[in-house]
Structure 1
Amino acid sequence: MPSAENSGIPAAELQRFTAYLRGCKRILALVGAGLSASSGLPTFRGAGGLWRSLDATALATPEAFERTPGLVWQFYSYRRHMALQAEPNKAHYALAELARKNEDFITLSQNVDGLSQRANHPSEQLHLLHGTLFDIKCTNFYCDYTRENEFTDPIVPALDIPKLDSGLNPSAVDKTGEEAAKSMREALSGTQTEIDISDANNQIPELDAKDLPQCPKCNDGLLRPGVVWFGEALPEKTMNTVDEWIAAGTIDLCLVIGTSARIWPAAGYIHEARSKGARIAVCNMDPKDTPGELHKGDWFFTGDAGVIVPEIFKSIIGEI
């Protein structure tokens, strides 16, 4: 019999969920920043230190990179550094183990931090909707150079900048709700303010383009992080693979972990899963932060994903 003592989950709800989970064949998981909260990573808008004075969403655009590539690379160098300081938590490992137990289980990740990969989540069952900090690619339109799993930190000497307040701080509050969705909509609509890099209080050095990561193939282009910026299309190959999986048959369960899932394509995937027969199980810090209206037979587990996810999977994967 499953135990709810440490997770705070009502015993009856845990038993109802685990009984259903045992009979599930096709499972889709959608995960967001809340999955990594107990690993100590700040959320996208929660970057600390010298980045608190800037708007992170305004840095994550092709236009920002074209205008101030040094500033953008320093921001992503900070994020890469933070991600490499962190370790996967039990939720990452639990999802990876469930994938190994069930070949018809896929995870759609909105995260770019690489923690799921470092938890050895089977790569063929992990689909990165927004790319990863640890892939890089050339910005020249005629050059197809890419490099995967580049974990060098810093990636070039000039990016070894002081990383003020870079200690990891496990989050007690999941910051992936409506505020983040609102900021994304503002960024996409162009209403965010310009970044003033001349502000001395920012303490961010200006870097020459020649000191930033250069393409070794064309010798003419700057390399950039392999993430999806605002205004860019999501990876077509990934989207097609996910669409084919969804179309292949009935879906028994859709897990929504650490994300409000209120913007496209996340909201669309939940709708599609439900239309294919799925029940929805949400794990989030804020009990009001739901991906639309939950139906009778769905679940909402309130709390830290690092605690909740291993507990609700225990009957299938054992102890993590």
Structure 2
Amino acid sequence: MHRIREWMESACSVAVLTGAGISAESGIPTFRGAAGLWRQYRPEDLATPEAFARDPKLVWEWYDWRRGLIAKAQPNAAHCALTRLERRVSDFTLITQNVDGLHDRAGSRNILKVHGDIWTVRCSACGKERQDLRPSIPDLPLRCACGALERPGVVWFGEPLPAEVWQRAETAAREAALFLVIGTAAVVYPAAGLANLAKSAGAKVVEINVAETPLSTFVDASLRGPAAEILPQLLS
């Protein structure tokens, strides 16, 4: 841990990739396996353009349930530690696969949301986006002022990542002196490939996860345990 602290103190540019694990420590389900079922549906059954076209009300009801869960959660010590790290580093980028907004609520500023934001809704016709921070939405599905259906502002299975956001994420990984991978199993591509990109460009890559992942033997250092415990120690 001493060696990683030295890397953090000397790095002029830091990029961080966070996944579902950091939010799980705030009590938000990861939606993987049997624990991820809602009614009898899997996320893969609902988080697709085809599912929305088939039954937009059902898809919205699932997202409304998720919004309610997320609204009750609070940023944990790992989210707050990343906010402190951002203040200490002149060039800091937080790349997250999470859509829950906990990094925003913790106070992080330079956030790239590669999978979108559950608190954003987007018109399926005109593309207009707006924020809707209500934990529960009474009349579903939502409609835009233009009359078309609005959808959650997230990336669904089978959809490309937002091009501009992804380009900025790649640039941040390529230019980082230190790249932290926190709470992600490193199996969802293309985001999982950012660590490889950072390391090939010369960055020190550090993994923080409760379990071993495909990245564990590849990184420069791998710390095993909850990020809410490890990150504050690294910054102390």
Normalised by the length of structure 2, the TM-score is: 0.93
Q: Which residue in the other structure is 1:302 paired with?
A: 224
Contact 1:30 1:108 in 2 (8 A): yes
1:241 matches 2:154:
no
Structure 2 residue runs of 5 or longer lacking an equivalent are none
Cα distance per residue 1:9-45 (max 9 Å; x no partner)? xxxxx21211222111111111100011221111123
Contact 1:24 1:253 in 2 (8 A): yes
| Cα-Cα RMSD | 1.9
* SS in structure 2 at match of 1:44: coil
1:284 matches 2:209:
yes
For 1:19-34, what aligned pairs fall within 5 Å after superposition? Answer: 19-34=6-21
Cα distance per residue 1:186-221 (max 9 Å; x no partner)? xxxxxxxxxxxxxxxxxxxxxxxxx421112x1x21
Equivalent residue pairs, number? 236
Which of 124, 131, 134 is equivalent to 1:152? 134
Contact 1:45 1:57 in 2 (8 A): no
User: Counterparts of 1:233 and 1:264 in 2: how far apart (Å)?
Assistant: 11
Contact 1:26 1:252 in 2 (8 A): yes
By percentage of residues, which structure has more strand?
2
Q: Deviation of residue 277 (structure 1)? A: 0.8
* SS in structure 1 at match of 2:172: helix
* SS in structure 2 at match of 1:301: strand
Q: Which structure: larger Rg?
A: 1
Contact 2:123 2:129 in 1 (8 A): yes
User: Counterparts of 1:311 and 1:90 in 2: how far apart (Å)?
Assistant: 10
Letter in 1 for 2:130: R
* SS in structure 1 at match of 2:127: coil
Cα distance per residue 1:122-145 (max 9 Å; x no partner)? 1xx2100100100001111xx132
Q: Deviation of residue 292 (structure 1)? A: 5.8
1:69 matches 2:56:
yes
1:214 matches 2:117:
no
Q: Which residue in the other structure is 2:101 paired with?
A: 114
User: Counterparts of 1:47 and 1:115 in 2: how far apart (Å)?
Assistant: 24
User: Counterparts of 2:202 and 2:184 in 1: how far apart (Å)?
Assistant: 21
Contact 1:29 1:254 in 2 (8 A): yes
Q: Deviation of residue 48 (structure 1)? A: 6.0
1:134 matches 2:91:
no
Cα distance per residue 1:256-300 (max 9 Å; x no partner)? 1000113322232111100111121111111x22426325xx211
**Which structure has more RCO (C-alpha within 8 Å, separation ≥ 6)?**
1
Question: Relative to structure 1, is the Cα distance of residues 277 and 55 closer, same or farther in structure 2, using a 3 angstrom cutoff?
Answer: same
Letter in 1 for 2:228: G
User: Counterparts of 1:234 and 1:44 in 2: how far apart (Å)?
Assistant: 20
Contact 1:262 1:292 in 2 (8 A): no
Cα distance per residue 1:137-177 (max 9 Å; x no partner)? 1111xx132102x211222x14xxxxxxxxxxxxxxxxxxx
